[in-house]
Structure 1
């Protein structure tokens, strides 16, 4: 039996969130934008944007893979 197809594009939403972290920073970039997002924050944003019911572990795996490809570093803080 196949898993039900998920309507929201979770992978695309991860790309969009991580793209904001990978964007080049200018000299005028506020300090608040220099702090990387935490894994929990990215998962929370994903749930808000997509309404996904995927497990935290599944989302962490997806986020970690995409972050590695994009060379985006996430903070370890909650």
Structure 2
């Protein structure tokens, strides 16, 4: 079951990032930094990435927890941590 949860979280993260970047074929790595490498500004990360991800996956994450998210991998790990 855990593998299925991880794969649907990864799929949701990658899909939404590709949508935000406007490139459905974009190769993404877990080490990609959201702001520095992918050039996504903080408002977009909040309103078009974090909030929609939590809604889509039915995961509630307190705002302060997002402050330590820098990479694609950080995002996936945070979502897995708070998934019940």
Would you call these one fold, judging by a TM-score over 0.5?
A: no
Please report the TM-score for the alignment, with normalisation by the length of structure 2. 0.40
Structure with a larger share of its residues in helix: 2
Q: Which has the larger radius of gyration?
A: 1
Please report the TM-score for the alignment, with normalisation by the length of structure 1. 0.42
